[in-house]
Amino acid sequence: MAQGLEIKGARTLLTGASGGIGGALARRLAQEGAELILTGRRKDLLDSLASELGAEAIVSDLALAQAPEQLLAASGRVDILIANAVLPASGRLATVDPARIDAAIAVNLRAPIALARGVITQMSERNSGHIVFIGSLQSKAATGGASIYCATKFGLRGFSLALRAELARTAVGVSLVLPGFVADAGMYADAGVKLPRGVGTRRPDQVAAAVVRAIRDDVGEIEVAPLALRAGAAIASLAPELSARGMRLLGGERIARDFERAQSNKL
């Protein structure tokens, strides 16, 4: 069984390194001594971050069907996989372009599955390895105006939990990190959405700290959010209709509209 993994010296493949919380994850992993392989779509940002941290950089668009296989071939040995790349595909279903739906499913769900499948064999042969999926608290609490995003994150959570059970008797660990609202970086920060009073956030470095703990201690699931949001997500899992009414009262529909306007053209 997996007992946690030493990060120092581990070849660590981080997807989504050129956007969102990717920079915070990369910098914390570099501090821990990881041998980083950074990947993302934006070459300029990726190259700059790789130069800063002394990391490898591989430009890859995980929305493309063959991208996961090509990325793994270029990466070589992978001791730690951190699947962080994400697309929002925000908006009401009737207004979301089919191309954005396909891209979000590919990046948020298909690519993590394909990458995990690709590294499991080599990790099992070495009897060592860890996979971390960066999910979302919205994998427990669905919100209107985010049906595609929620579908991919619910799917990723189910996959992660099932894969952890599947590998429970091996030395390969599987973890899921679930951020809530993140300040300064990530989708909601990029969109400039104003949250209701009292709705707390967490910082990118706190998400990065959770990733490090997940790897070192082989933790199956870590929520990175204030207590109120974590409690709300738990209630949503048990009583989704009650939770949905509460979210409407707290301005959930307004947040969804604001986010849709800010992210409507993002691919």
Instruction: Measure the CA–CA gap between 44 and 210, rounded to whole angstroms.
Output: 28
pLDDT of residue 193: 57
* pLDDT at residue 197 is higher than 90: no
pLDDT of residue 129: 97
Beta-carbon contacts of residue 254 (< 8 Å; ≥ 6 apart): none
For residue 255, the number of C-alpha atoms closer than 13 Å in the C-beta half-sphere is: 18
Domain ranges of the chain: 11-263
Q: What is the pLDDT of residue 22?
A: 96
Residue 253 has pLDDT above 80, yes or no: no
Write out pLDDT tens, residues 16-34: 999 879 999 999 999 999 9
This model's pTM is above 0.75: yes
CB 133 within 8 A of CB 156: yes
CATH of domain 11-263: 3.40.50.720
**Model pLDDT for residues 93-150, shown as the tens digit of each residue:** 888 899 999 999 999 999 999 999 999 999 999 999 999 999 999 898 887 788 899 9
228 pLDDT more than 90: no
Summarize the confidence of residues 75-95 as an average pLDDT. 92
pLDDT band at 235 (very low <50, low <70, confident <90, very high): confident
Find all residues with CB under 8 Å of 229, minimum gap 6, and list them. 137, 180, 181, 199, 200
Q: Greatest CA span in the chain, whole angstroms? A: 52
Is pLDDT at 14 greater than 80 in this prediction? yes
3-state secondary structure at position 13:
strand
Write out the E strands in 41-94: 56-59, 80-83
69-91: average pLDDT: 95
Q: Which of the pair, 232 or 77, is modelled with greater confidence?
A: 77
Q: Which of 220, 239, 134, 234 is nearest to 177 (CA)?
A: 134
The CA distances from residue 240 to 28, 139, 196, 197, 232, in Å, are 36, 12, 20, 22, 10
The pLDDT of residue 189 is above 90: no
| Dist CA 136 CA 108 (whole Å) | 11
Q: Which of 133, 149, 188, 259 is catalytic?
A: 149
- Among 260, 253, 223, 206, which residue's Cα sits nearest to residue 28? 206
> Strand, coil or helix: what is 43?
helix
Active site residue 149: yes
Mean pLDDT of the chain: 88
